[in-house]
Amino acid sequence: MIVGTLKGFDQTINLILDESHERVFSSSQGVEQVVLGLYIVRGDNVAVIGEIDEETDSALDLGNIRAEPLNAVVH
């Protein structure tokens, strides 16, 4: 999951995110946050866009969240 501040987009849903980071989930350890900075996401890689409640998000204990990896996509 990539989290950042939406700075721009176009008609094909290409996104420009600032102050972004990727949250990498693991089944054995907490969520790792990888700093990305200014990041461009191509529109065909976008599944969901939403607003995060900063108060709720900051209250999460990401060190204790566990998640199973997603299955591979088969075409």
4-18 pLDDT, tens per residue?
999 999 999 999 999
Q: Does residue 75 surpass a pLDDT of 90?
A: no
Over residues 16-46, the pLDDT tens digits come to 999 999 998 888 888 889 999 999 999 999 9
pLDDT recorded at residue 70: 77
- Fold assignment, 2-63: SH3 type barrels. (2.30.30)
Domain coordinates in residue numbering, the chain = 2-63
Rounded Cα gap, residues 53 and 61, in angstroms? 15
pLDDT recorded at residue 27: 86
Q: What Cα–Cα distance (Å) separates residue 56 from each residue in 27, 45, 62?
A: 22, 26, 12
Per-residue pLDDT, averaged over 63-68, amounts to: 88
Q: Does residue 68 surpass a pLDDT of 90?
A: no
- CB within 8 A of 20, min separation 6: which ones? 2, 3, 4, 5, 36, 37, 38, 39
